[in-house]
Amino acid sequence: MDRPDAAGSAAGQGESEPRTRIRLGIAYDGAGFSGWTRQPGLRTVQGVLEEALWTLFRRHEPVPALTVAGRTDAGVHALGQVAHLDLTGDQTAALLRPRRARSPAGETDAATALRRRMTGILGTADSDVVITDAAPAEPGFDARFSALWRRYEYRIADAVSPRNPLTRGSVVWHPGVLEVGAMDAAAATLLGLHDFAAYCKPREGATTIRTLQEFSWRRDADGVLVATVRADAFCHSMVRALVGACVAVGEGRLGRDDLALVRDAGVRTSAFRVMPAKGLVLMEVGYPHGAELAARAERTRARRVL
């Protein structure tokens, strides 16, 4: 039997059937993935997870598809990714019934059963993607549209930082000395609701208007530079471009106020480089509670304007 495309398998099947929405927490090492989004012939996080779902539910189609909070780029890591999926009644029942005759009883919680079985398929010893949490979603919850913000961190070891080979997959090594105070001051000039087209890789039909809620730099206890970047949403390569602009400031090639001037010019520039993906980690996604979940989703679906 050929594996169906999970994203499209539900079309025309049981559309009026009540579903159980499950919220998943996901972590992954992005080095082995061509990003989150399923792509033909490439290994992606969505592809690996939906393959596990197909293994679980191929006898109970339509196989559920994943809706994710943020579609990370190739090589980007995550500790706090969030996604949801909708289970039919048959799929929920399949999770709850005993798997083997010797089992004393079936599972009592579909979310817990889903996490356990997906973990078994993904592997418990050395998997580069892990289901960190699973729970019934609150009414109105949508992993993508209900989110208030996404928070990323980016790590750089410069010439005065230790070069730890154990973190080489998640920390970018920089040959010179970076002035963290200047970088932090420049980052602060970018906060607020703006069009960040100059810091985004363009995608046809996609808006580049975002609210940058937090952007700061510090050195951690080991001397590694850490950027914290939080916004309502990010466009393609936006965080790595913002970090690259700040690195240019830290090197003295750009001034504190130049980053806002680049932003307001609205065009891509060669004045800085987009930083490598491996230093970037999606740390957390924030959501409202209760009735605000559905209201937030409705507002987010509206196209952003300045």
Ordered DSSP codes for 85-124: EEE-HHHHHHHHS-SSTT-SS--S-HHHHHHHHHHHHH-S
Nearest to 98 by CA among 89, 86, 106: 106
* Contact (Cβ atoms closer than 8 angstroms) between residue 76 and residue 281: yes
Q: Bridge partners of 285?
A: 150
Contacts of 16 (CB under 8 A, 6+ apart): none
Cα separation, 123 vs 109, in Å, equals 21
Which are the catalytic amino acids? 73
* Cβ burial, residue 303 (10 Å; 0-12/13-18/19+): exposed
Cα separation, 56 vs 229, in Å, equals 37
Cα separation, 295 vs 300, in Å, equals 9
Cα separation, 187 vs 125, in Å, equals 40
Q: Bridge partners of 86?
A: 21
